[in-house]
A and B are shown apart, each in its own frame.
Chain A
C-alpha cells in the first residue's frame, strides 16, 4: 500500500501561505512607502519653489519684476504642481496602506495651490493678460453622479487649458479635505456645491456646458 505523506499538509500549507502573504504585504508596504516618499520630496521641492518666488518678490519689490517673466514662471509652476498632483492621485488610487499619509500630502498640495491662487490674484491685478480658473471638486466623494461630473469637468478644463495655453491658469482645489482656508475661500466666493468652477474670482459655473460656452464665459469681460 502506498504511504500517503499528507497528514500535516493542511497546516503546513497554511503556515507557508501566511509567510508568502506576509512577505507580499511587506513588499507592498515598502513599495507604497517609497512612492509616498517620492511624492513628499516633490512636494517639498514645490513648497520651496513657491516660498522662493514669494521671497524674491518681497526682496526685489513687485514693481521691479518683469510681468512677462512672473506670469511665465507662475504658469510653469502651476503646471508643475498640477503634474505632481496627478502623480499623487495615481499613487493614491493604488495605495492600500499609506492612504492617510497620501491624504495629508494632498492637503498640503491643496494649500500650496491656494497659496498659488492668492499669488496669482496679486499678479493678475499687477500684470493682467490671463484668466484664473479655479476648479473646486470633492476628492473624497463616492457619489456616482459627482464622480461622473468631476471626470467630465476635469477633461473639459484640461481642454480649455490646452486650447488657451498661456491665457488660462487652471488651479484645481479639493474642497472636502477639511482645510479652513479653502472653506473660507469657497464661502467668500459663494461656492456652495462641488464640482464648481470659479472664473476670475467672479463667475461661477457648475452646470454641464459646452467647451465654447465655457470659453465665452472665461473671455467675456
Chain B
C-alpha cells in the first residue's frame, strides 16, 4: 500500500477538518448548558467609544442605539472620535452632544485611515474604568452592557468581553451569506471561549477593562485588525478574554462582492500581521501559543498549500482536456463519452462527503443555537451556496492578502 503524495495530502486535510469539527462539537456537548450563561454583574459606569470616519448617515442611529441601552444614563459616557471625516459625521455627532450631556465628540487632527488611532484617543479621554468600543455602523442589543459587564467583574484576569456579532438586516445575496457566516462564527467563538481561545473582540461591540488596555499599550495603530491584535496582546500579558453569547450586536455587512472581498483581504492581512508579530510565542503563553497562533498559522499554510494543490490538479486537467479537445475537433471524433463521466467513488470521496455533511450539520447546529431568523439567511439555496461555494473562496483571499503584504500595501 503506497499512497501518492496527493492522496496523503487529501487524507491529512480530511483528518484536520474532522478533528476541528469533532473538537468543537465535543466542546459544545460538554458545555451545552453554559452556552448562554452570563454573570449578573453590578451596574458600574462605562465609557463607550465610537470611532467614526465618513459615517454621517449611520452615526446618528448608532448613538441612539447606545443611548437606548438598558443601562442607567448617568453611568454611561459616549465618546465619538471622528477620524477627520469628509462628510457631515461631526455635525451629526455634535447635534447629539448638544442634546445629551453624556455624549462627547473628539475630532482627530489627521485622518489615520484605521480604527485604532481614534479608538486610542477615546480610551485616553474616557472617564470610567470600563470601556466599550463600538463601530459607527453597529447596533448593540439593549441588554448588551448589562450582560457583558459581569464577565469583567467576575474574574479580575478577564480584560475583555465580546458578544455575538450578527449581520444587520441582510438584504442582498452576499449579505445573507454573511448572515449565516456571522451566526456560525458567533457560535464557534463561544465554543472557543470554553477552551480559553477567544482570539478576537470584534469591532462592532466589545467591552474592556480600561486599566488592562492601558497596561498592554492600547490598540496597535499599525495593525489592520486591531481587534484581533489587542486580544493576542492581552493574552500574552496573562489576561483572559470572554465571549457572551447571551447578547448580540448587529453590524452592517458589505452589500457587494468586491466590498466583501476587500474587507476579508484586510482581515486576512491583519491576521498575518498578528502571526508575524507574535511568532515568538509559538507554544508559549497558554492558549495563545498552544492553540491560537498555531491554529492561525496552520490555517494559513493549509489554505495556501491546498490552493496550490488544487490549482495544479485543475491546470493539469484543463491542459489535458484542451489538448484532447483540439485533437478531437481536428479528427472529428467523439469529445466526451459516458464512460468518461462515470467513476467509482474512492475512499477520499466518501470521507469528503462525510466531512461535508458533518460541516452542514455543524452549520445548522450553529444557526439553531444562535436562533438566526430565517429571513436573515433566506432559503436553502443560500445555505447550500454558503457551504459549497462561499467558504471555498477563502484560500483566494489568502493569496491576495499575501500578495498585498509582499507589496507592502496596507491600505484599509
Contact = CB atoms under 8 A, between A and B. Distances in A.
A94 B351 CA distance: 13
A26 B194 CA distance: 33
Contacts of B2: 99-100
Contacts of B291: 10
Contacts of A155: 324, 328, 333-335, 337
Which of B195, B337, B343, B347 has most A Cβ within 10 Å?
B347
A145 B323 contact: yes
B233 to A, nearest CB: 23
A158 B4 CA distance: 31
B34 A93 contact: no
Contact of A144 (B14, B320, B350): B320
Contacts of B3: 96
A210 B327 CA distance: 9
B154 A1 contact: yes
B348 A90 contact: no
A6 B30 contact: yes
B349 interface: yes
Contact of A91 (B34, B337, B344): B344
A156 B349 CA distance: 30
B74 interface: no
B379 interface: no
Contact of B347 (A25, A145, A149): A25
Given A2-B37, A24-B347, A31-B347, A152 B324 contact: yes
Contacts of B34: 2-4
A69 interface: no
A192 interface: no
Contacts of A100: 1-2
B18 interface: yes
B320 A17 contact: no
A155 B328 CA distance: 8
A151 B145 CA distance: 66
B355 to A, nearest CB: 10
B345 interface: yes
Interface in B322-375: 322-324, 327-328, 330-335, 337, 339, 342-351, 354
A5 interface: yes
Contacts of B330: 208, 210
Interface in A1-45: 1-6, 9-10, 12-14, 16-17, 20-21, 24-25, 27-29, 31-32, 35
A12 B26 contact: yes
A9 B195 contact: yes
Contact of B350 (A28, A97, A208, A210): A28
A221 B194 CA distance: 82
Nearest to B351: A24
A142 B334 CA distance: 23
B1 A97 contact: yes
A198 to B, nearest CB: 18
Judged by DSSP, the binding face of A is helix
A100 B1 CA distance: 7
Contact of A32 (B154, B333, B347): B347
B19 interface: yes
A125 interface: no
A148 B328 CA distance: 10
Contacts of A98: 1
Nearest to B37: A2
B346 A96 contact: yes
Contacts of B320: 144, 147-148, 151
Nearest to B2: A99
A156 B335 CA distance: 9
Given A9-B27, A13-B23, A152-B333, A24 B194 contact: no
A9 B24 CA distance: 9
A152 B327 contact: yes
A151 B348 CA distance: 24
Contact of B26 (A9, A27, A148, A149): A9
Contact of A14 (B19, B322, B337, B347): B19
Nearest to A35: B344
A16 B26 contact: yes
B30 A9 contact: yes
B319 interface: yes
Interface string B33-55: 01001010000000000000000
A21 B18 contact: yes
Nearest to B350: A28
B349 A13 contact: no
Query: Which A-B residue pairs are the 4 nearest by beta carbons?
Result: A28-B347, A94-B346, A148-B323, A13-B23
19 contacts: A2-B37, A4-B34, A4-B196, A5-B31, A6-B30, A16-B26, A28-B346, A28-B347, A28-B351, A91-B344, A93-B346, A97-B347, A100-B2, A144-B316, A144-B323, A148-B320, A148-B324, A155-B334, A155-B337
Given A17-B23, A90-B344, 14 more contacts: A9-B23, A9-B30, A10-B23, A21-B15, A24-B347, A27-B350, A86-B339, A97-B1, A100-B2, A147-B320, A148-B322, A149-B327, A156-B333, A210-B331
